[in-house]
Amino acid sequence: MKINISKAQQFVTAGAVEALEPQVMAAQKALEQGTCEGNDFLGWLHLPSSITPQFINEINATAKVLQENCDAVVVAGIGGSYLGARMVIDALSNSFGWLQPSNMPRILFAGNNIGEDYLSELIGYLKTVRFGVINISKSGTTTETAITFRLLKKMCEEQMGKDVAKKVIVAVTDAKKGAARTTADKEGYKSFVIPDNVGGRFSVLTPVGLLPIAVAGFDIAALVKGAQDMEAQCDLNAPVKNNPAAIYAAVRNAIYQSGKKIEIMANYQPKLHNLGEWWKQLYGESEGKDGKGIFPASVDLTTDLHSMGQWIQDGERTIFETVISVEKPNTSLAVPSDEENLDGLNFLAGKRIDEVNKMAELGTQLAHVDGGVPNIKISIEKLDEYNIGQLIYFFEKGCGISGLILGVNPFNQPGVEAYKKNMFALLNKPGYEAESKAIQERLK
């Protein structure tokens, strides 16, 4: 993985990025020594290097049970309890699920919304297959996930019988507390623990992400190896110039301080759409607080050059761009030549599709820089488990450092509670009587 900030540095005053080095080092030290705010949630920091081959074997063994007994596996979870798994599975899967030659179960995601049609349609499909459920919730009480699990548990037991259901329902939750833990223990489900000191959005390298990724048939050992190597590269003792997470944290803060408040993550591979979704949660939930924080947005290019491209090129100059560039595609396809050349495309004949994509990428970078958009380029060699593992740790470490430079606690999310309180009051949840009364007054 490489990071190139030359096209971002030209937008900030000379030396602005370097000037943040002391803050970068202080942030790294605070993370390492556990002296920063949110220090009870630093379990992600050395998580990759703490993962043992035995633990990977245990996850793979559980994945095998699901693979052998299910045509589809539903991952029930929301926020940090699903975005990481979805990102990795999408990045590594065939773009069109139905063409996939593998005999792995189809991975479906639910419990991340409360759409009645979504759930009804999911249930409609599950009636036709043998399915399992991975119920993922750290708190074990999240409403979206809990409603979904209640529906799926009942259905799984009715459709496959209680004994099989016990085999194909797995819980990933807290060691002791929460309804998901109570149910798993009572029903005798296989379960994995989400460590107390790892917050949801930093949990993709725990069973939260590793189990669904393994069930999908991907090599979690290689994913973890990529993260381990990046953990070593981003070590506190590495010079900042060799530490990509430190460079990223410094440059995005320098740009933010220069007045650009929105960071757009751009990819040129449709499979990376959900990298943007995972990254938005990681950075948005970590940094958007106390009236501060870069707003993380994402686009899929070149697709969105035909929609958001106008805004990026020409709209209010408050944005900067972080591009994820994949150096080599995993397949090979060239533009064919055509005798008649009716479409005028013979100038591309024989060129790889990826070469056209790369020229679009370079042309877009130059155009956006000309249009006043600072550009950070993050390159990975190819889409595989190892490279995605590197990206995961890089972004996590960058987020921890960046949030501390910004001066917030990157590891809490107090703002997420506001909607829940109102929703529970509106639904007359026991314990919310006073809030219900107040909200009814407000709605009069």
For ligand PA5, give the closer residue by CB, 81 or 364: 81
End-to-end CA distance of the chain: 56
Binding mask 114-143 for ligand PA5 (x = CB under 6 A): -----------------------xxx--x-
Please state the separation of Cα 349 from the chain's center in Å: 37
CA distance 104 to 216: 6
For ligand PA5, give the closer residue by CB, 137 or 390: 137
Q: In what order do the strands lie in the sheet with 2-4?
A: 2-4, 375-380, 319-326, 262-267, 295-300
Q: Active site residue: 46, 64, 382, 420, which one? A: 420
Q: Active site residue: 277, 285, 321, 385, which one? A: 285
What are the C-alpha distances in Å from 416 to residues 288, 305, 394, 422, 423? 11, 32, 25, 11, 12
Instruction: By CB under 6 A, name the one of 183, 231, 413, 432 that touches ligand PA5.
Output: 413
CB atoms within 10 A of CB 103: 8
CA Rg value for the chain? 23
Q: Measured from the CB of residue 79, what is the shortest distance to ligand PA5 in angstroms?
A: 2
289 is catalytic: no
Residue environment code for 336-352, b if the CB has 16+ CB neighbours within 10 A, otherwise e: eeeeeeeeeeeebeeee
The span of 59-67, 196-204, 267-275, 349-357 binding ligand PA5 (CB under 6 A) equals 196-204
Total residues at interface with ligand PA5 (CB under 6 A): 14
At 108 the three-state DSSP class reads strand
Footprint on residues 276-295 left by ligand PA5 (CB under 6 A) = 285
For ligand PA5, give the closer residue by CB, 199 or 374: 199
Q: Measured from the CB of residue 53, what is the shortest distance to ligand PA5 in angstroms?
A: 27
CB atoms within 10 A of CB 18: 14
For ligand PA5, give the closer residue by CB, 137 or 148: 137
CA distance 219 to 209: 12
Q: Measured from the CB of residue 180, what is the shortest distance to ligand PA5 in angstroms?
A: 8
Footprint on residues 198-217 left by ligand PA5 (CB under 6 A) = 199-201
Binding mask 338-377 for ligand PA5 (x = CB under 6 A): ----------------------------------------
Q: Measured from the CB of residue 217, what is the shortest distance to ligand PA5 in angstroms?
A: 24
306 is catalytic: yes
Q: Measured from the CB of residue 140, what is the shortest distance to ligand PA5 in angstroms?
A: 7
CA distance 129 to 121: 13
At 374 the three-state DSSP class reads coil
The pair of structure tokens assigned to 2 is: 């490489």
Instruction: By CB under 6 A, name the one of 9, 67, 135, 145 that touches ligand PA5.
Output: 145
Footprint on residues 61-90 left by ligand PA5 (CB under 6 A) = 78-81
Binding of ligand PA5 at residue 181 (CB under 6 A)? no
CA distance 90 to 84: 10
All residues at 6 or more sequence positions from 129 whose CB lies less than 8 Å from its CB, including other chains: 70, 71, 72, 106
420 is catalytic: yes
Kindly report the CA angle at 143 between 140 and 147, in degrees rounded to 5?
Answer: 95
For ligand PA5, give the closer residue by CB, 11 or 278: 278
The pair of structure tokens assigned to 46 is: 């050395």
Q: Measured from the CB of residue 281, what is the shortest distance to ligand PA5 in angstroms?
A: 6
For ligand PA5, give the closer residue by CB, 78 or 240: 78
For ligand PA5, give the closer residue by CB, 28 or 413: 413
Contact indicator for 136, 76 with CB cutoff of 8 Å: yes
Q: Measured from the CB of residue 413, what is the shortest distance to ligand PA5 in angstroms?
A: 6
For ligand PA5, give the closer residue by CB, 20 or 136: 136
Q: Active site residue: 116, 306, 316, 417, which one? A: 306
Q: Measured from the CB of residue 81, what is the shortest distance to ligand PA5 in angstroms?
A: 4
What are the C-alpha distances in Å from 187 to residues 157, 162, 167, 171, 419? 11, 9, 10, 11, 32
Interface residues with ligand PA5 (CB under 6 A) are 78-81, 137-139, 142, 145, 199-201, 285, 413
Catalytic (active-site) positions: 285, 306, 420
